[in-house]
Structure 1
Amino acid sequence: MPTRLLRKLLQSDRERFLESLLESATDYAIITLDLEGRITEWNSGAEQVLGWSEAEALGQNASLFFTPEDQDADAPAKEMAIARDYGRASDERWHVRKGGERFWANGSLMPLIDDASGTIEGYLKILRDRTEQKLAEEKTRQSEAFLRGVLDSSGDCIKVLDLDGRIEFMNAGGLRGMEVEDFSAIRGRSWASLWEDDGAAAAKEALAAAKAGGTGRFTGSAKTLKGTPRWWDVQVTPIAGSDGRPERLLAISRDATDRRHAEAALRETVERYSLVTRATNDAIWDWDLVRNHVQWNEALYTAYGYNPHEIEPTGEWWIAQIHPDDLQEVENHIRAVIAGNGDEWSHEYRFRCASGHYATVLDRGYMVRDAAGQPIRMISAMLDITSRKRAEQELEVVHHELGHRLKNVLTMVQAIASHTLRNSPSMDVARETLAARLVALGKAQDLLISKSSEEAEIGALIHSVLEAHRASEPERLRIRGPHVRLSPQAALSLALILHELATNAVKYGALSNEHGYVDLVWTVTDETPACLALRWSEHGGPKVVEPNRKGFGSRLITRGLPGDIGGDVKLSYEPTGVVCTITAPLDSLAATSV
């Protein structure tokens, strides 16, 4: 395929030699392109690799043998630009033959430069079909990926060791089992050094057996890298090299911890059975009904004070310790189980301890019968439930207290609702006012429930009731004072008073403009009896004028707390702002019950 461009490159006999050489290179597609990327020369190797004849290919764009996706990405033009700018463009990608079949090829594109002018006159493209190599590499990669997947999915710890026993590889299952987060932490480490006690010697023997061409096996204990102790069943075999001699060693360790534990548990079953009667808090008794012999465990001493070896081992002794008021019911229950076909028995009764006091017990037994259905044995566990019964009684008291408190709250709600509805100009106002007052009451009740059933802390109560007013501008409510505990009734009354004061401040007082603020301060006096002195004072609000008529809110402020616990409440309408002072004895504030 002599060409004008090649003739410029090749001279005389050398030219003919190279031309013949190019034509004989049938394994390579050698193509020349003009500056627009059109095919100008097409050797026989191109015909063989790509399928198009020279006549079919000449004048076509080089994109002819590029895949559609590479054509869309303008790969041919980009390749020419790289060759022009850097002197060569190499690629390895899928290409297309004449019939549409895809093949993998590596290629190079080089510019053809005129010696005289130094300008690029065209390009030389050389392609070689590497499909077989590509498929072989892909097959190898898939095979390796498959083997890797098999190794990774195995729960065994699979390791490759060198002939000195150093770790070269560990599969993912092994890394998990050995709790290795980074393989580099264990790479090159002596495998035998991981084993404890006799396991180290057994590991060395297994390595020696594998190096000699045999198989080494043992079971040993080795900790993970995080210190977790585990047992392993191990097999070590040689990995032969090309000469058939061991080149590396394969060590497969299977976690045998669960099996070892199960074996240990099985060995300990008899011992555990004999010990459980001593370890439990239940007094376990085993009554042989045929011989009338009762065997007790040591809990009879630890829980009830009796030494099993010093008591009479009969059913009569046990029955004699039952409280006289419970005895008849227990006997009737046991007789009913014995006479019937039942297998289980349980009863609560009072059992006399060695100290003479009675413990409430829950006795749960199982009846063993012979082949004829006759009871021959009864095994039971007697649990001391005295504390539980006491807790149940205390819970019952709490329930009564809660019911009492709920009645008081409902009474207060009824009074608030009645006064609000009576003094409101409309139902809408009544609804809004009543809802706000009940919210304040609810906040105080929430505080009592969340903190204690007996009392609430005044600071927490104030912050809870005034939370909505402090959320956006906390500096406008300046709250301070010492720690003081309030009874439930005092907390509820104070919550309603603070709600009314805050509501009036927002509507008419210091909180109705942008500059006013409220000082809320309380102290404890040194006099006897000690008193709580609380002062609410408004500043910076509109000028205050005492109202002609006192509503329910004002009456609630001045009469609520004194009526509930005693003390004194004064409400004054100073021109600079409303002032409310509350004085009440600490004893009455803390001791009043609901």
Structure 2
Amino acid sequence: MSNIEEFPAAARRLTEFEALTAAAPSVFDAVPGAVYLCDQDGWLVRYNAEAAELWGQTPPVGDKRPRFCGSHALFLPDGTPLAHDVCPMATAVFAGTSTRNAEVVMERADGSRFTALVNIRALKDHEGKIQGAINCFQDISGHKELEETIRQKNADLEDFFENSAIGLHIVGGDGIIQRANKAELALLGYTAEEYVGRHIVEFHVDAPVIGDILHKLSCGENLDRYPARLRAKDGSIKQVQITSNSRFEEGKFISTRCFTTDVTDLREAETARRESDERLTATYDAATIGIAEADKDGRLLRVNDTLCRMLGRSREELLNMTFFDYTQEEDQKEDGALYARQMAGEINNYALRKRATRPDGSTVYLDVYSSSVLDAEGSFRYGVRVLQDVTAAKRMEDRIRESEQHLRDLLEALPAAVYTTDAIGRITFFNNAAVEMSGRTPEIGDMWCVTWRLYNTDGTLLPHDQCPMAVALKENRPVRGAEAIAERPDGRRIPFIPYPTPLHDADGKLIGAINMLVDITERKQAENRQRLLIDELNHRVKNTLATVQSLAIQTARQAESLEDFSLRFEARLLALSRAHDLLTRRNWEGVSLDTLTREVLTALADNAGRQVEINGPFVDLDPRTALNVTMVLNELATNAIKYGALSSEAGTLALTWRLEAGSDLKPRLILEWRERGGPPVAPPIRRGTGSRLMERAIERDLGGHFDLAFEPSGVVCRMSFSAAGGPA
């Protein structure tokens, strides 16, 4: 007889379809996505839990099983109904055609819909005959909503460009007009076909001006209200101001974005005002101020033509009046009192502003300068009164004052901190938001910044005379892209972005600056939270992989066969998965011991509610402790179901715990597992993988104590470890 043992013939190699239909349900559920399998006739054969959840139903796989898809109804992305027998799965089953990244709308029985990204492949046997097909799909409704949001934003940007109230055009690096909005075309009277595609130089009246504009933009300079003249289609000249910046890619000048503001009417008004001023100046050169002489009673003795015109009265009328007669009643008292002091010699002259009434009832504001003419003895003879009509100036002052107040009210209403300085850097204004942000009320005249103390983003001290506002004033340029940290007197620190911008007068002279401080505390906090979440995710993934690796190694060492290894390893992975599910529902913030124990035992033992007693105070376990306790309970429960108390209906299991004070002032959890009424128990001949796994989980991973006893009445396990979560 030969000593050589015959090996059986090699088993027939399974096809892909056969391997998938023979796989355990947990294999399908472990797939990260929705997946289902159809046979060669399109009948639904297998699907995982995620597919059922997305379908909103659990379709049968028996005689009444559906064909091609488990959804209630199918639609194309445009909403067109899609019959199941012509869907991509039907095409794959009947024609062997694969589908990659196709979009299909699935409808649930309750009417809700979602967009699915499907990937379908036909499954063939070893001879190439189609045995079925597999579909892996996922819900991409969120991505579709994001695409719609982006599309809407693009539409809004397009609407902003086309329908902006101000002219806007885009010029390429070669000077060719690429786009122009409606306001731009309406300003010059061209159609898009007449304007777009032509060189911008063709529409500028002054060649040196457009040459300078293109040169500045090609050098990266920004234009702010640059004056220019454009030629309209009807031949008229439009006075405009151009505000523009450039777009560069890899250092190459690509295009410019130009806002065109029509200031033709404003320039004409300025021209008219300038001509009027010139005429008025010429008139002043020929005694343009009103001059009058008045006696002790204020009666007018002499007047010039200018005063007559100023007051709208003839010389004869004025010479029969006192200056009190045309002065409004509210101003008579002041003028009379000062004139009396002047006649008495108490003052030599005085000046005041008063209101006079013209015959038509209109009011004229007059700046009056009164001086005395004395006789040889030094006594008062008469007063010389020089009058200037300042009505326009007064109204301008009122408008400026109203404008300044309006600007202050506007700045006060802004939610961001805003303040202004003079050219030296002394603070001239700040709003309430600046007070709230800085935690103090600055003093007018403080230098550079309203904040109490400043720091760079790396935590180093930032002197106020080196802050962005100081740089903007010293270098006479806006500062952008800087970040700083403001410290309040109460110690709180606020990260912010400053926007200091110099202010200039009509001649371009620096007169001060305005700065807006934007609080970015919430943005920084969001960035920190995101960074912490990513770090936590990396940490947990590494820990999970290490745990799976350890389970695989320990299970493999004691496995009697590949099938034995597969069963044991799958059971332990499912236990780890259940713990992960519990923690995921709690956002990885821990889970109560009572919830964990009931979840593990209910999942393993059908009669757990009748045979198992669970009792103990509320204890909240952190994620690390929960994972280890789950693994231990799974091993104990699996052994009890196979060989112990839960293997017979007469057996019972008592799982109890209590809290005790530990030596390190932290509470310790004492957990006891006791089986009774099962088959007789005898100590095992050799120490198995499960015992070592449980011991490692409690003693090494949790730093606790683990004691497993095989008493005749049943297995007793005692374990203790620090309850980091503690009682709730």
For Structure 1 versus Structure 2, the TM-score category normalised by the shorter chain is 0.3 to 0.5
Which of the pair has the greater relative contact order for Cα pairs under 8 Å at 6+ separation?
A: 1
Report the TM-score, using the length of structure 2 for normalisation: 0.37
Report the TM-score, using the length of structure 1 for normalisation: 0.44
